[in-house]
Structure 1
Amino acid sequence: MSRVLVTGAASGLGAALVAKFVAEGHQVLSTDVAEEGEGTTYLKLDVRRAEDWDAAVTWCEQNWGGLDILVNNAGIATGGRIDVETLDEWDRVVDINLMGVVRGCRAFTPLFKRQRSGHIVNTASAAGLVHPPMMSSYNTVKAGVVALSETLSHELHPYGVTVSVVCPSFFRTNLADSIRGADSAMGATARQLIEKSPRSADDIATAVLAGIKKKQFLIIPDRPAAMAWRTKRFARPLYNRQMRKIAERARQRAETTNG
């Protein structure tokens, strides 16, 4: 039985992961930005606040004597054309989706080093591996999470600490509710892709837990994400053509709307 902390646990993939861990008999600390949670043991944790992370480490040490699995899952959806999305929007998504993961890794690494054990699971996205147009900010932060995870997989290996990074494509969740910003057209497209996906958060969580058990570094939990990644790696001209077609359709829509 493992001791598990999950951020962004109140909804979406976080809630699905918590349910899967609990069903398998693990001890789970659910964390999110709300003052109170439901179901499992809960602690308020805003991933933007270093003091909240310090409190989470203290809680795990005092109540459990340590931690086995840290799941950095909290995040928001964002995106937009480079000349439309504002710099404030960039700051927000970097602070939550990238620096939130950085803060979590920094907070728990000393504990994991002392234990000579631990598993860090960082939720990125297929957007961390393949980079469609009109998604500069989201692609950038998720690619950063992938890079951070790979770095730590090597850096922490001598201490017995393993790292996984999760890269799903679109799946049904309330993540679309976090979309805001100047590029409303791109936001609407992203919402449609999320809400009309045939995959649920529960589907993704099942695949993620299987990957964690195998201690896989790169967990790609659905077929569309895996196919996109393979296309980029092994059929780059085809991948480039697909990305350029998406960009051209967006140009045409923008010019029609503005025309």
Structure 2
Amino acid sequence: MKPVLLITGAAHGLGRALALGAARDYKLALLDRERVAGEQLADALRRDGAEVLFVHADVAVEADWRHALERVQRRWERLDILINNAGLAAMGPFEGQTPATWEQLWHTNLMGAVHGCRTALTMMKRQGDGHLINVAALAGITAPPGMAAYVACNAALIRFSEALAAELDGLNIGVSVVCPDLFSSDMSRRMPNADPLSRARLQRAMDDAPESAAEVADTILQQMGKRPLYLFPQPEARRDWRRKRWRPERFVARMAKLGSSLRRYR
């Protein structure tokens, strides 16, 4: 019997790529706050023979999570894997990132995953097995300049995942945190209150990235069966993680040079 996989932020980008890559091997529950795009993806997957449930939901709203998991319970009576993928980007000088931007990122990127893990954990404890996967970003480790709000949310999500993994050890419920570097995506369009220059810079960086969302998704789907705590879907992401651990002051100095460059050309 195919395991049940729930993916948030499934209508676009990495979430869509994960859904397309997993459709053959999993029963899919897809969550997104963009109803039309989510339903279109679900319909396309069903035409290809996949078993799919789409739920219109905002991950920042805990009640939406309860409704979504109730529908999964009624449909399949279990949930094997949750991928908390939904997230927003933010880029620009710290003083230009308003409290509203910070709050929006915090509620979606961090608390969305917290609500998801809390709600899914009830089902997973009852069934005695499960896997919680939080998609953060390598920025939560490398802390590049010009992304303070985004860096803070991802760093918190990484530490949350580590703490949760330790807490659930011995319960047969795995916890993984995925830390991808930039990859080709349309994430720049989901940047609240971004100035045009910052939006263009992020899009240009993603367009220049060597990996596509589909390639990153394939690596995640291939590796997640091992239930690693840290999952780096690109070789350079793992190398940067090691560089930061081994020589943190040198790494921060490298980021400072980048920060000076960003200030110079604004």
Deviations 1:227-259 (A, max 9, x none): 2211111133431231111011122223xxxxx
Instruction: Give, as a single letter, the amino acid of the residue that structure 1 aligns with 2:232.
Output: I
Residues 91 and 194 in structure 2, CA contact (< 8 A), matched pair in contact too: no
Match of 1:207 among 216, 219, 235: 219
Q: Which runs of 5+ in 1 are unaligned?
A: 255-259
Match in the other structure for 2:247: 235
Q: Distance in 1 between matches of 2:241 and 2:170?
A: 29
Instruction: Give, as a single letter, the amino acid of the residue that structure 2 aligns with 1:68.
Output: D
- 1:94-243 aligned within 5 A: 94-181=106-193, 183-243=195-255
Q: Distance in 2 between matches of 1:67 and 1:180?
A: 32
Q: Distance in 2 between matches of 1:85 and 1:188?
A: 16
Residues 180 and 187 in structure 1, CA contact (< 8 A), matched pair in contact too: no
Q: Distance in 1 between matches of 2:69 and 2:245?
A: 39
Instruction: Give, as a single letter, the amino acid of the residue that structure 2 aligns with 1:21.
Output: A
SS at match of 1:129: helix
Match in the other structure for 1:31: 31
Q: 1:30 to 1:241 in 2, by over 3 A?
A: same
Give the root-mean-square deviation of aligned CA atoms: 1.4
Q: What displacement does 1:183 show?
A: 4.4
Q: What displacement does 1:223 show?
A: 2.1
Match in the other structure for 2:66: 54
Q: Distance in 1 between matches of 2:192 and 2:158?
A: 24
Which stretches of structure 1, 4 residues or longer, exceed 4 Å deviation after superposition?
A: none
Q: Distance in 2 between matches of 1:161 and 1:6?
A: 17
Residues 184 and 209 in structure 2, CA contact (< 8 A), matched pair in contact too: yes
Residues 5 and 28 in structure 1, CA contact (< 8 A), matched pair in contact too: yes
Q: What displacement does 1:158 show?
A: 2.9
Matched, 1:11 2:12: yes
Instruction: Give, as a single letter, the amino acid of the residue that structure 2 aligns with 1:14.
Output: G
Residues 85 and 183 in structure 1, CA contact (< 8 A), matched pair in contact too: no
Deviations 1:47-104 (A, max 9, x none): 0221110011111211111100011111111122221111111111111111111111
Q: Which runs of 5+ in 2 are unaligned?
A: 46-51
Deviations 1:160-195 (A, max 9, x none): 110111000000111111124254433322121112
Q: Distance in 2 between matches of 1:110 and 1:97?
A: 21
Deviations 1:198-237 (A, max 9, x none): 2101110111112211111100111221222111111334
Residues 220 and 231 in structure 2, CA contact (< 8 A), matched pair in contact too: yes
TM normalised by structure 1 equals 0.93
Q: Distance in 1 between matches of 2:159 and 2:249?
A: 24
Q: Distance in 2 between matches of 1:12 and 1:186?
A: 19
Aligned length: 253
